[in-house]
Structures are given as structure tokens and as C-alpha cells.
A and B are shown apart, each in its own frame.
Chain A
Amino acid sequence: MIEFCGVGKTYAGGTVAVEDFSYTVQANSLVVLVGSSGSGKTTLLRMVNRMVEPTAGSVLIDGRDVAGLDRVRLRRSIGYVLQAGGLLPHRTIADNVATVPVLNGTRRREARSAVVGLLERVGLDPSCAERYPSQLSGGQQQRVGVARALAADPDILLMDEPFGAVDPIVRRELQDELRRLQRELGKTILLVTHDIDEAFRVGDEVVVLKERGVTAQVGTPADILAHPADAFVRSFVGADRAERRLRTTDVDGRRVLVDDDGRPAGVLVAAEERRTAP
């Protein structure tokens, strides 16, 4: 469980990144902070592992104030996934994945023996273990980034725009796998993105941020889509989506949703094959 208790961040020059933010990420849930640039979402994420120190309020993990914990040890106890994986270009995939266990003092050989399982878990062929990051595709690098974050078996994963650098098709694939991993491993995940579709696709709960960490709305994707709190959320979510009137029409025996202009918007499916897509 991660608690933000009235946190704020004002930089020395007077720039306010976050005014006053409170929120609790429940254990074993996947929460998405979504907002455009300037919303303070990354600043909030970085407060959790003390990459940024709040100038007001505090962040608690399982009831303990992170300000009282050793920074380096705290960071090693939390999985962190960055855009494009944030891999070390001079280390092989295996060494990248084993980074945190090795930093924690596990012998290199021992740490590397766990690598195969981790790579398989994130859907990578273990034969890539001895290659360098630059020899992998963007999507593969991203998966390695997730494997590295999982290597020390942390309770918490922080993800900073994790799928920002890959193309849309791969992004969807990675988003679906994140859901799968979350179901299998039951980690507490806090993910930051500017992409509302991504937020709705992966989040159990979504926090929509305005500027400087001001919360516009908190809720499940369905809640937010059904009842946008205000004009800001409505426009952020996509005015046409919230306002769109859909009706069904039959195409080759399947029920297709179309909007007022007759453009297809999706397919209606039976409940048992339903997915959580918004």
C-alpha cells in the first residue's frame, strides 16, 4: 500500500510541480496516474522511491514514511520501469535483469541463474540473455525492463511512461501482458502515462490529474467514462467518446456498434468472452 499524504513539491526557483496531493494506492491494485505534461504525475511517482523529495506532506509505504528509509535500499526494494526500459547499454540482457540482486550482494552467477525464468515470465526467449540492449527491438527492451524490475521480487512496481517508446501494436500487446502479470503476481503497481486509452486499458483505478497534481477525478475506468466529473475530464477522456451515442447493427451475424455517422466503433460480444476494454 502506498499513501500520498498531502504531498507537494516546490522547486528552489519557485516552480510548483505539485500543489497538494493525497491518495492511497491499495495493495495488489494497478493504479494509473494520467495527465498531460505539467500535471506533476512523474514527480508524484518519483516521490515514492525518493528520486524526488516532497517539500510538503509525506509518502508512506505500508504505513512507514519513506523519508525515514535509506534511499538506495528503498529503491532496490521497489521495481522501477522507465520509458524504453532504461536499460544499461553496456551490460548484457542477463546482467541488466540481474542488476538489483547483484547490487544487493547476490553472487553474479546465482543472480544470473534466475534470469531465464524472469525472461520467460515477461515473454522473451531466454536465448537473448547474452545479447546487448541495442540488439533488441524497442518492445523487447521494454520487456527486459519489466524483467529487471521483477528480479528482486519487489512488492511495488513503479512504471514511468513504460510503453511510450514502442509502436501502437506492440504497446497494446505489452499492456495486455501487464494485466496478465498483475493477475499472476499480485504486485502493487503505480503507472504514469499521458495516454488516457492506456490508463483505461490497464488500470484498476485511474487518477486523472489537472495541472500541478490537482486531482480532477478518481475512479474505475468505467466510472470515469460513465460519469466524467467535469468539463476537464470530459475533454481529456475525449468528448466524442463520452458523448457518443452508439447503436447496434448486424453485420454477417455479429452485432457491430456504430455511431451517429454510421462509422463502426466496436463489436458487441457475449458476456463470457468479454474483456475489460473500455
Chain B
Amino acid sequence: MTWFSHAWGWVLELTWAHLWLSLPAILLSVAIAVPVGRLAFRRPGLGGALLSGSSLLYSIPALPLLIIVPAVFGVPLRSSATIIIALTVYGAALMVRTAADAFASVDSHVREAAIAVGHAPRELFWKVDLPLAVPVLVAGLRVVTVSTVGLVTIGALIGVPSLGTLFTDGFQRGIVAEVATGLIATVVLALALDGLCLLAGRALTPWRRAVEGAGA
């Protein structure tokens, strides 16, 4: 507790840094995974390859990935860019399958009806497929969010500040409170963002609440 009383300013600073590493990675993951997932759903032949590929990408361990990213993308090792790129690769790889599943979950009867009344392909995507895929997409987003917030801490090992810095610094200085604070703060941040995703998902799918309200 004595440690926390004089270090809380720093903890806040690190939380802020943590957030600014997590959010871009999460948003980029979604931006990549949704179109790729839809492609995988639309073209099952290509989709199989895309899904196997993403599964392989996802099996690359995190710390080695952080070290490989600079060699492939030409960014400095100790930079936010390295963390964001690596976690985007992870998040996207993790979410592509969910995105494909999300589009597959849209009732083909509904999609066909939408085509029959005259939705052009683009309108079909924005007005029918995407909104109806939201529930499954949000489930995937929540997994990516929790996983990304946790993985950001690894960046501390290559010297990029985040709540993970409390682990390395606390370990080197032998302060249990510091490590414990980092652990709790990371979990709280993950759960808070997870909760936000949950709320956003509810706000985007009013028709599902209507059904529950009707007791159907």
C-alpha cells in the first residue's frame, strides 16, 4: 500500500498508455477481420485457406512475434508500432473465424428475401448481413478485447511502457505490491472494455431485446 500511495500517478499514466496500445490494435483487428471473414464465408474454397492461415498466425507465440514484426515491417523494436502491429495480427487472426461464422449465422432465407425485394450487393452487406452478424461479431470482439489487453503487457519486455511495466519493474525491484497492482489493473481494464463491448452490442441490436421483452 505504501508503494501505491506514491506511485498511483505513474499507474494512471501506464493505464493510459496501455489503453492507447490496446484500442488501435482492437479496432484494426476488427477492420481487417470483418472483410476477410466475409470473404471466407462467400468463397468457401478460399475461405478454408484463409482460416487455416489465420489459425497458424495465431499460434505464433507473442514475444517472438514482437521480435519478428520489426524485421518484417521495418519498424523500430522499442516502439508502439511494433506492439500495435503484432497485436493486430493476433486479433485479426483470432477474429477472422468468428467473423466468417457471424456471416454464416445470418439466415439464408432472410438474405434471399432481401435480394428478392431488390437490395444491391453493397446494400445487402450494410443493411442486412452486417447488422444481423453483429451479435456473433460482438462475441468475437469481446474475446479479442480481453486477449489484446492482456497481451499488451508483454511489450514491457521489449521496453514499451504499459501496465506490464509494473511486472518487470516490480520483479526487478522485488515489490510484490507493484506486480499485484499491475495484475489487478490489467484485469480491471480488460473487464471494463469487455463490458463496453457488451453494452455497445446491446445498443446495436435493439430487435433482440424486443424479442426478450415479448417473452418469445
Contacts and interface: CB of A to CB of B under 8 A. Distances in A.
A227 interface: no
Nearest to B132: A90
Instruction: Choose among A87, A90, A149 the residue with the greatest number of B CB atoms under 10 Å from its CB.
Output: A90
B216 A103 contact: no
B120 interface: yes
Nearest to B124: A72
A232 interface: no
A125 B215 CA distance: 21
Given A86-B113, A89-B132, A90-B132, A132 B120 contact: no
A103 B118 contact: yes
A90 B113 contact: no
Contact of A132 (B117, B128, B131, B211): B211
Nearest to B134: A90
Interface string B134-163: 000000000000000000000000000000
Chain B interface mostly helix, strand, loop or mixed?
helix
A86 B112 contact: yes
A80 B116 CA distance: 7
B57 interface: no
B110 A86 contact: yes
A135 B214 contact: yes
B117 A75 contact: yes
> A interface, how many residues as a size bin?
20 to 34
A72 B118 contact: yes
A134 B116 contact: no
Contacts of A183: none
B210 interface: yes
Nearest to B119: A103
Interface in A59-109: 72-77, 80, 82, 84, 86-91, 99-100, 103
A89 B207 contact: yes
Interface string B48-63: 0000000000000000
Interface in B97-138: 107, 109-110, 112-120, 123, 127-128, 131-132
B216 A134 contact: yes
Given A87-B113, A90-B205, A103 B123 contact: yes
Nearest to B131: A90
Interface residues of B, number: 24
Contact of B211 (A72, A82, A135): A135
A135 B205 CA distance: 15
A73 B210 contact: no
Contacts of B117: 75-76, 80, 86, 99-100, 103, 148-149
Interface string A122-149: 0000000001101100000000000011
A131 B216 CA distance: 13
Contacts of B207: 89-91, 132, 134
Contacts of A84: 109
A140 to B, nearest CB: 13
A137 to B, nearest CB: 11
A130 B128 CA distance: 18
B148 to A, nearest CB: 28
A178 B72 CA distance: 66
Nearest to B205: A90
Nearest to A135: B214
Given A132-B207, A132-B211, A135-B211, A88 B116 contact: no
A18 B210 CA distance: 43
A266 B1 CA distance: 91
A91 B119 CA distance: 14
A103 B114 CA distance: 11
Nearest to B135: A90
A75 B113 contact: no
Contact of B118 (A75, A87, A90, A131): A75
B63 to A, nearest CB: 42
A184 B81 CA distance: 67
A39 to B, nearest CB: 20
Contacts of B216: 134-135
Contact of A134 (B114, B128, B214): B214
14 contacts: A72-B119, A72-B120, A75-B116, A75-B118, A76-B117, A76-B118, A82-B113, A86-B112, A86-B117, A88-B127, A103-B119, A132-B206, A134-B210, A134-B216
Given A75-B118, A82-B116, A89-B207, 5 more contacts: A75-B116, A82-B109, A89-B107, A103-B123, A134-B216
Interface of B: 107, 109-110, 112-120, 123, 127-128, 131-132, 205-207, 210-211, 214, 216
